[in-house]
């Protein structure tokens, strides 16, 4: 865990140095384009967390492994934290670039919000049922359904008519190169390692909490 946390710290620091001191200004958006490096990296990390949550949910339903339920829950929780960051950084970027904090006419934004709210409801469902196999099964099915929204959210930008939101990844690869690409790749790696570190931290805390609860019941 300390090695993982140190790697995350080094990668995030390197990414920040590259973002502010090395990467060139964008020809169209100028300095404000620098939000892109963390905003897009965080968005892909949120998707990765939700996919991870769905995978663990699938494992729970398939193998009935009790650990998978908790892992799926922590993955979704991480996805929601990174999803919050996507919405916040996206709103700030939208304010500079488009002059609005939010545009309801943009499918990409609205679909990401739908995805975010869908996973918010995951917690409402989970905590409305008593702990046990029923709660684990319901949560797993819900997390599996949620993953369907990810490709829709990702494809929305390509299907949208407005195209205010920029397309950076096309069929022919990324729409940028040089230091911009290097900085983006480092930022993406930093966010993935940071998310994995936080996932491991939260998971170990939750497992310890569960064991303590069991011990308290035994001792009572």
Partner 1 sequence: MTTAEKYVTAAYCVVFAVVLAYVLIMALKLQRLEREVDELAERVPDEDTEEAPREAARVG
Task: Give residues in contact with partner 1 (CB under 8 A).
Answer: 16, 19, 30-32, 34-35, 38-39, 42, 81, 84-85, 88-89, 92-93, 95-96, 194, 198, 201-202, 205, 208-209, 212, 215-216, 219
Question: Cβ 71 to partner 1, closest distance in Å?
Answer: 17
Q: How far is CA 151 from CA 44, 45, 53, 111, 220, in A?
A: 12, 14, 15, 10, 49
Q: How far is CA 18 from CA 30, 54, 97, 173, in A?
A: 16, 33, 22, 22
Question: Cβ 88 to partner 1, closest distance in Å?
Answer: 5
Question: Cβ 34 to partner 1, closest distance in Å?
Answer: 5
Q: Report the residue number, 61 or 80, with the smaller CB distance to partner 1.
A: 80
Residues constituting the chain: 220
What end-to-end distance do the CA atoms of the chain give, in Å? 33
Q: Report the residue number, 14 or 137, with the smaller CB distance to partner 1.
A: 14
CB 170 within 8 A of CB 23: no
Question: Cβ 197 to partner 1, closest distance in Å?
Answer: 10
Q: Report the residue number, 172 or 217, with the smaller CB distance to partner 1.
A: 217
Q: Report the residue number, 152 or 208, with the smaller CB distance to partner 1.
A: 208
Q: Give the closest residue to 29 by CA, choosing from 154, 168, 153, 187.
A: 168
Tell me how many degrees the CA angle 83-87-91 measures, rounded to the nearest 5: 165
Q: Report the residue number, 53 or 60, with the smaller CB distance to partner 1.
A: 53
Question: Cβ 212 to partner 1, closest distance in Å?
Answer: 5
């Amino acid at each position: 865990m300390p090695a993982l946390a140190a790697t995350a710290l080094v990668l995030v620091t390197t990414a920040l140095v590259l973002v502010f001191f090395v990467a060139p200004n964008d020809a169209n958006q100028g300095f404000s384009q620098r939000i892109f490096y963390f905003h897009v990296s965080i968005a892909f990390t949120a998707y990765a967390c939700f996919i991870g949550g769905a995978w663990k949910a699938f494992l729970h339903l398939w193998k009935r492994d009790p650990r998978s339920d908790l892992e799926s829950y922590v993955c979704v929780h991480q996805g929601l934290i990174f999803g919050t960051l996507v919405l916040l950084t996206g709103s700030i970027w939208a304010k500079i670039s488009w002059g609005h904090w939010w545009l309801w006419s943009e499918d990409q934004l609205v679909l990401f919000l739908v995805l975010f709210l869908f996973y918010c409801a995951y917690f409402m469902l989970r905590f409305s049922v008593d702990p046990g196999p029923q709660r684990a099964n319901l949560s797993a099915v819900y997390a599996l359904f949620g993953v369907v929204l990810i490709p829709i959210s990702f494809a929305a930008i390509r299907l949208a008519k407005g195209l205010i939101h920029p397309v950076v990844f096309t069929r022919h690869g990324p729409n940028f190169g040089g230091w911009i690409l290097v900085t983006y790749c480092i930022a993406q790696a930093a966010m993935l390692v940071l998310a994995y570190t936080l996932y491991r931290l939260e998971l170990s805390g939750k497992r310890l909490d569960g064991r303590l609860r069991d011990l308290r019941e035994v001792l009572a």
